[in-house]
Structure 1
Amino acid sequence: MIEKNIACHFSSFFIICLGACNKEIQLTNTVSEAKLTDREKFLLSSTSDKSFVFDYKADKKYKQVSLWVDKYEFGKLVEEKLNNMLTEIDGTGTIIFSTSPTIAEQKESTINISVNNNNGFSTIRTQLIKPKAMKSTWGSNPSEHIPIADKMVLASICYSNGQGMSSLTNDFYSDIDNRLHEIKDYDDVYVLRAEFLDK
């Protein structure tokens, strides 16, 4: 319990520092994978297993961002909006998507989504039960500046007990509905999605 509390406090501190250190995105209404310093990468890797960091810049008309994870099993959507976060935004901010590290034969992990902006930061965590001996591969949307759109796909984490694993193609992130065959051999796939709202 003490370790978990320390990790939570450290994550909150890291989010604040990261939001202050990252350079502002040049294009409006876009999401971009953040360019982290070596120190930021070290801090993030010390508290997470897999992680993705994105910066966004949105018009003032966008008042909220909705972030969630969809779970797929062998290419089929089995759980939509596994953990759904809706938070206020104000122009620019940072999104962090990560999983907690597991130790040895431990099966439990968590998916964490955090948002930092001028209004402060918000975090949501969902517990996962992973089968033993799972191999994994992960990736993020390759676009340098992802235009804000409905149900954007930002990142994915794939788990499999199979022998062969390969990274998902760039097309998967821009056209997921027509690229589900890419994940049909994976036991579990978690996809981070985002939607910016003007309400």
Structure 2
Amino acid sequence: MKRISLVISLVLFMICIGACNKEIQETNTLAEAKLTDKEKFLLSSTSDKSFVFDYKVDKKYKKVSLWVEKYEFGKLIEEKLNSIVTEIDNEGTIIFSISPTLVDQKESTFNISVGSESGHSGSSTQQIMPTVLQSTWATNPSESVQISDKMVLASICYSNGQGMSSLSKDFYSKIDNRLNEIKNYDVVYVLRAEFLKE
């Protein structure tokens, strides 16, 4: 298990260093990273699904807090399933990935990593995954978003229901007012971020 975690950490670190999206021009913004085919291959070889974001902030932001929330039928069940608070540079990359464990195929490892030129930090936790028929994965639909308090970066929805649809743009910007969108989903994982000035 330690060997698998080490391999995943090394791959995620290489992607953090290589994925820095030079197209982000404005400060205090975050956007989904534009990965090369090689970076996509490296991620797919170590995880089932991943989300990669590039950020650019001014010097007043010193840290970032990242966490995963778990909802069941629209109700918050676990506020910080996996979390990390780490110091940041002005530019860097955030990666969230899920990998099945070799020991128990019902269990997956949730990985959160933050990387920049000066180094990287990461956090992992195991989670028993829902046994459902359908899932949908999505990132904040805006190409580039302004940094805001407790922003939603990505969502993973699981359902045994008849159909699934993408979450609205408003869900990502006003999650507390839009929980009705996920009330029919068995389980929803939400990746959130807050950039901190201290």
What TM-score, normalized to structure 2?
0.92
Aligned counterparts, 1:36-185, within 5 A = 36-101=35-100, 106-185=105-184
Contact 2:98–2:109 at 8 Å: present in 1 too?
yes
Which segment drifts farther, 35-44 or 165-174? 165-174
Distance 2:80 2:133 in 1: 23
Contact 2:92 2:116 in 1 (8 A): yes
- How much has 1:45 moved relative to structure 2? 0.8
Aligned equivalent of 1:14:
11
Q: In the aligned structure 2, how far is the partner of 1:144 from the partner of 1:12?
A: 27
Letter in 2 for 1:69: V
Matches of 2:187 and 2:33, distance apart in 1: 26
Shift of 1:20: 3.0
What code does the residue aligned with 1:161 have? N
Q: Secondary structure of the residue that 1:17 maps to in structure 2?
A: helix
Shift of 1:102: 6.1
Counterpart of 2:6 in 1: which secondary structure? helix
Kept after mapping to 2: 8 A contact 1:101/1:109: yes
8 A contact 1:155–1:193 mirrored in 2: yes
Report the CA distance between 1:43 and its aligned residue: 0.9
Percent of paired sites with the same residue = 68
SS in 2 for 1:62: coil
What are the Cα deviations for residues 55-110 of structure 1, in whole angstroms up to 9, with x where unaligned? Answer: 0011111110000011111001111121120000011110001111367x821112
- Is the contact between residue 111 and residue 125 of structure 2 (CA under 8 Å) also seen in structure 1? yes
Structure ranking higher in strand proportion: 2
Distance 1:133 1:80 in 2: 22
Cα distance in 2 between the residues matched to 1:39 and 1:145: 23
Unaligned ranges ≥5, structure 1: none
CA RMSD of aligned residues (A): 1.7
The one-letter code sitting in structure 1 at the alignment partner of 2:179 is L
Structure 2 unaligned segments of length 5 or more: list them.
none
Question: Offset of 1:136 from its aligned partner?
Answer: 1.1
Output the CA distance in 2 between the equivalents of 1:132 and 1:12: 27
**How many residues get paired?**
195
